Amino acid sequence: MRAISYSKFGTPGDVLNLSEVPVPAPGAGEVLVRLRVSGVNPSDAKARAGNRPGVTKPAYERIIPHSDGAGIIDAVGEGVNPGRIGQRVWIWNGQWQRAHGTAAEYIALPATQAVPLPEGVSFEVGATLGIPGLTAAQTVFGGGDVAGQTLLVSGGAGAVGHNAVQLAHAAGADVIATCSASAMDRVRAAGAAHVFDYADPDLATQILDATGGQGVARAIEVEFGQNIGLLTEVMAPNGTIAAYGSAKDMSPTLPFGPCLFKALKIDITLIYILPDAAREAAIARLHHALETGALRPEIAARYPLAECAAAHEAVMTPGRAGAVLLDID
């Protein structure tokens, strides 16, 4: 089968190579998926670049990258219902703590990690559900229903943030979002009642005014370290900061006093290690939103498998409007 792989860290053009490798065989409890689309995420590009703290070389001799994807089950291993052969599925954690991800024509992985696609949902959308979709669902609903609450979505134009705006709006929340000035109309169309420029010096005042001075009940935060000061100003007492990223400041200073006297909760999500019950709940939320038309994940760019290096560059480009995909066929 054709696959993209790398054996050392580096820039995408230097280390990503297209080659022929054997088709994997599904083991006990596994399925073999013939992939149609692979989802490319910033975490895939960072891992390939060697940007994870304390990691000096790849964990495996050869890595086929990417955790997200969608396709059709081609074969099953021992203990898996053969009736699943031919089933359309989307994949989560394809390359998490494994050598072989979805940047290939086939992947073999535990059957539970191949989730049946809802009727009418495309492979392209399915390939966006693993990291961007589940992260959005967990950060929005990790504390329960949000109907009637005021939610703040930082980075509402990003793949996770845009999904989060749609999910929260459909669930009955009053959504405030921040984004670049050029993306405001797009984020407003996703369901945000109030959209503000994240670079505005009066951002805290604008957010508080939008809440009538009551503050935000739950914040979906992509840049925790950079925005923690702002959050202590705009959060309501007993509010929750649901953080899933802090790339611009990985060693933030926490203003404990303001957090203490509002009794703020910090809920950090790493979607790769989400407990089973929480993952199942997030999957159910995503499927319901897709089936009702409340969620429409956006796709910014698509590349053929052979142009994986260009896809890695695109996914790290600021301002992209949606997910980046590889077409495997």
DSSP 96-115: TTSSB-SSBSEEEEEGGGEE
Q: Would strands 68-76 and 30-40 be described as parallel, antiparallel, or unpaired? A: antiparallel
Burial of 163 (0-12, 13-18, 19+ CB in 10 A): buried
Cα(217)–Cα(5) distance, integer angstroms: 43
**What residues have CB less than 8 Å from 137, skipping those under 6 apart?**
163, 167, 282, 283, 285, 286
144: left (phi over 0), alpha (psi -120 to 50) or beta: left
Q: What pairs with residue 175 in β-bridges? A: 151
Q: Which domains does the chain possess?
A: 2-128+297-327 (3.90.180.10), 135-272 (3.90.180.10)
What is the pLDDT tens value at each position of the chain, 329 positions in all? 999 999 999 999 999 999 999 999 999 999 999 999 999 999 999 999 998 878 889 999 999 999 999 999 999 999 999 999 999 999 999 999 999 999 999 999 999 999 999 999 999 999 999 999 999 999 999 999 999 999 999 999 999 999 999 999 999 999 999 999 999 999 999 999 999 999 999 999 999 999 999 999 999 999 999 999 999 999 999 999 999 999 999 999 999 999 999 999 999 999 999 999 999 999 999 999 999 999 999 999 999 999 999 999 999 998 889 999 999 98
